[in-house]
């Protein structure tokens, strides 16, 4: 069985055009989030397709879902996204030591 890190899972979830569009729309919506039907309207996705992609984003820890009555609201988990960005940039400009071609021979 293959183990995948949370960071790799999050990045893989964003590696699909539909999920990336959903995620970006939810970022625009902010902390209030959007109902599933609102996301479908904005992006023109069929309900079953949308449900599949939202499930992947939730499983990846990027989107939170809150049920309010009969409606399900989706919003970005901004602290989780900030951790992912921190992971990606944690060693920014730290420098990389490379071996010269003479050292490798």
Residue-wise pLDDT for 7-23, tens only, equals: 999 999 999 999 999 99
Domain count, the chain: 1
Question: Cβ neighbours of residue 27 under 8 Å, at least 6 residues apart?
Answer: 76
pTM: 0.84
Residue 63 has pLDDT above 80, yes or no: yes
pLDDT band at 36 (very low <50, low <70, confident <90, very high): very high
3-state class of 41 per DSSP?
A: helix
Is 90 part of any domain?
no
pLDDT confidence of residue 74: 97
| Domain harbouring 40, CATH code | 1.10.10.10
Nearest 5°: the CA angle 95, 97, 99 is 155
Is 84 part of any domain?
no
The parent domain of residue 56 ranges over: 7-78
pLDDT confidence of residue 102: 64
Is 52 part of any domain?
yes
Is 97 part of any domain?
no
Is 94 part of any domain?
no
Residue 105 has pLDDT above 80, yes or no: no
Looking only at the bridges linking them, the beta strands covering 63-68 and 71-76 are antiparallel
Is 36 part of any domain?
yes
């Amino acid at each position: 069985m293959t183990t995948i890190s949370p960071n790799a899972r999050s990045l893989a979830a964003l590696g699909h055009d539909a999920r990336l569009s959903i995620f970006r729309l939810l970022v625009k919506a902010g902390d209030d989030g959007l109902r599933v039907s609102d996301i479908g309207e904005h992006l023109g996705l069929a309900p079953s397709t949308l449900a599949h992609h939202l499930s992947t984003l939730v499983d990846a820890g990027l989107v939170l879902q809150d049920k309010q009555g009969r409606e399900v609201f989706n919003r970005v988990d901004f602290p989780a996204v900030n951790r992912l960005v921190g992971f990606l940039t944690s060693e920014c400009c730290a420098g990389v030591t490379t071996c010269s071609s003479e050292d490798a021979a």
